[in-house]
Structure 1
Amino acid sequence: MIVQSALKSHMERTHGTGVFKCDLCHFTANAQKKIVEHKRRHSKELSKCPECGKIFKNLKRHFLRQCGRAADPDRQHCTQCDKTFKDKMGLKKHVKDIHDKVMNHCCQLCEYKTYSNFNLRSHVSKMHTKESMEKICPHCNIKTTNLEYHSKIYHHEVANSKADSEA
């Protein structure tokens, strides 16, 4: 009986097609349990990091992403803030986008400029086409804002078999 309950829970959380919305923000999920977990984060108490003294909702995640990794000599350190990156490309992108504010993604329909392709796609979607950025994957019915990337990552076997049949 426990196995059936666990299977049912897995099927709902992983493969569910429902759309549930947080009543406190714009977050949506395919299972009610995910909304319950998400809403806990809204009321989570803030904690002070013993290493850097900054305040965070998720101290464990902060430590793994920031303070804990800061001691790693292989990480790339930003000289303008306290962020670190696993490689030079991540650091270079961070500096360009956040500190230098290089706005090299331009809207073809108006004067809008931004530093990221995602922000540009979001702008065009909201201001010009009025189409939702979210698309539903034809293979698993999950909503995604980048169907091409989603398909490549989660359904690579479909893409590979399609490429094989075209060859």
Structure 2
Amino acid sequence: MSKISMQSSSSSSSTPNTSGSSLSVSMLKFSSCPECGKIFRGDYHKYNLKKHLTIHAGLRPYTCPICNMSFNQKVSMKRHYASVHKTVEQIKFDQHTGC
């Protein structure tokens, strides 16, 4: 796997916007994806960019324990499991118990 570089920028001071109020420092921090240009802002910009880069790298490290479908983010696998398999398991349980 090749290393993908990240572009980022940050500022340590507040900058006034057109309305006279100042922008927070966390909104001035950003990273942009070198593959597609998507911009990530805020306190977790580097973390969110790192998660995003798994899409371009084709990484899908999370696998459903029931059907082996793979996902690039754990939250996506959990959502799949809850919406597809929990319902099926509950129906099977209800049919088995007669409830």
TM-score by length of 2: 0.48
Q: Which has the higher contact order (CA 8 A, sep 6+)?
A: 2
TM-score by length of 1: 0.31
Q: Please identify which structure carries the higher helix content.
A: 1
Q: Please identify which structure carries the higher strand content.
A: 2
